[in-house]
Amino acid sequence: MILIWLILLTMSGGILAWMLSGINRNLPRWISLIFLLIDFVLIVSFWIDKAEAIDMQLQNNWLASYSMPWIERFGISFTFAMDGLSLLMIILTLLLGFISVLISWSSLKESVGFFHFNLMMILAGIIGVFVAMDLFLFYFFWEVMLIPMYLIIGIWGHEKRVYAAWKFFLFTQASGLLMLLAILALYFMHAQQTNEYTFDYFALMQTTLPVSISMWLMLGFLIAFIVKLPVVPFHNWLPDAHTEAPTAGSVILAGLLLKTGAYGILRFVIPLFPGAAEVFAPFAMLLGVISILYGAKLAFAQTDLKRLVAYTSVSHMGFVILGAFSFNLLAYQGVVMQMITHGISTGALFIMAGQIQDRLHTRQLDQMGGFWTAAPKMGGFGLLFVMASLGLPGLGNFVAEFLILLGAFQQSQIYAILASLGLVASSVYAIRVMLKIFYGPFQLNHALPDLNIRETVVMLALAILIIWLGVYPKNVIHTAGSFVNLENWDRQGLSRPADQMSAKPEKVNGSFVEIIKAAK
């Protein structure tokens, strides 16, 4: 039932915040904060409670599951399940949601209740995406994320907010419709073979598909996910959305919405269409390398701080698709780490960009300089997260990208070498950010306020997390082990028979790696 409670509590908090906003303008903030804190305590308690099961690396990957009929005539049900990957992503969702409420505490002046309603609806939709095991239900939550984010950008964004909101909506909606068509095609093909109409993920995984049809269906899913990721050439919506969104919107976009695309590739594209994924893998890895290098190049060319950070997301997310299609244990561990560490480090950089914009009313790098002396706390945190972004050893991003490169090297040495050049490029734009903002002559004719207590607490929490993930990533990698099923992996193959690969959560389910290896 915890899976239902997480979604219902988040939605209820949003509705309550909107309904009670007329009483006091601060009330929606506290309501959102309290409900997210309750959710966070629930999921962390669940993680601690399941620590023994995770340590044992049980054959049953699923830590929790829930299912009940919804629209039985069409085979639609409320089917939810959570494994290590889902657990980690939900923790990240609630953490960044909590921080998003804190960072918008004083900067948000208008329609506070409606803002928190939309924020909580996005978070509820994201949690639903991470646990839905009915494809119709998954698509429902995928769409639940869309409209609230459109409204957050379009109402509370900056100068070109309407243009950026429409661009975000059109890109994600069009690609989402392709995924819906692919879901329906898979639904009818499964019914044709089994005479059973169902959207159940585990049942649809058993569908036998011709190679050509499997490729088209996979592309329907994949395009939706790489648009959300985003991967070049589908990245065009991201810089505008990030630039015009309020700070909390940028944090949710970079830290969470992009991760739903990565999650979709790991959870749906490769397990449902393993043969097609293997055929497409070289091209997918090439797209990843192009995104890494092209995103880094464009980041270096930006003069707007938020656009610069947005393009770094394009570059870093290129590592995700590179690792996902490497079909390698090290790469998969790196992908999970990258999803988490990127959410923390890039979210922190967007928070810093918002703090600077609130103080200067500009995002232009040419109008900044010398902030280290004027705002030393901001400078210290800025240096830490810029170093994390470039992959400094000892910080979480290094672990993620190093594992991905190690895994990718086993699949394609050329792609791994080219991708490693992205680390060099990230060093160049990261140093440029520090030089432009914090060093050189002080450019303002007035004092620059340093971080207040609330801002310091937020940045300190993120700093502790990114350092912890860099020096002790074992907990995250080990928890994700119930997704990749570490005990069954070896270089020669897997001992588990193929007929055990797709049972429902309450039975025995094969691991992600098993599904991939079975395609070979």
Summarised one tens digit per residue, pLDDT across range 486-505 is 333 333 232 222 333 333 44
28 closest CA partner among 110, 94, 151, 117? 117
Q: Which pLDDT score is estimated for 518? A: 46
Structural contact between residues 315 and 359, judged by C-beta atoms closer than 8 angstroms: no
| Tally of structural domains, the chain | 1
Tell me how far apart the alpha carbons of residues 44 and 88 are, in angstroms, rounded to a whole number.
10
Secondary structure (DSSP) of 191-213 = HHHHS----BHHHHTT----HHH
Which one-letter DSSP state was computed for residue 487?
Answer: G
Q: Which pLDDT score is estimated for 308? A: 93
Domain that holds residue 342: 2-518
Q: Which pLDDT score is estimated for 373? A: 86
What percentage of the chain carries pLDDT values higher than 70?
91
Q: Determine how many CB atoms are found less than 10 A away from the CB of residue 460.
A: 13
Summarised one tens digit per residue, pLDDT across range 197-237 is 999 999 999 888 888 899 999 999 999 999 999 998 899 99
Question: What is the largest distance, in Å, between two alpha-carbon atoms of the chain?
Answer: 75
pTM: 0.91
Q: Which pLDDT score is estimated for 413? A: 93
Q: Which pLDDT score is estimated for 484? A: 58
Summarised one tens digit per residue, pLDDT across range 141-182 is 999 999 999 999 999 998 899 999 999 999 999 999 999 999
Left, alpha or beta for 444 (phi > 0: left; psi -120 to 50: alpha)? beta
Structural contact between residues 327 and 516, judged by C-beta atoms closer than 8 angstroms: yes
Q: What is the mean pLDDT of each run of 10 residues along the chain (520 residues)?
A: 92 94 87 96 91 62 86 92 92 96 87 94 96 95 94 92 93 93 95 92 90 92 94 91 92 93 94 91 95 93 92 93 92 93 94 91 87 90 93 93 94 93 89 88 79 93 96 88 48 30 37 44
Structural contact between residues 108 and 87, judged by C-beta atoms closer than 8 angstroms: no
Quickly list H helices, 83-160: 84-103, 112-131, 135-144, 146-156
Which one-letter DSSP state was computed for residue 78?
Answer: E
Q: What are phi and psi of 132, to 5 degrees?
A: -70, 130
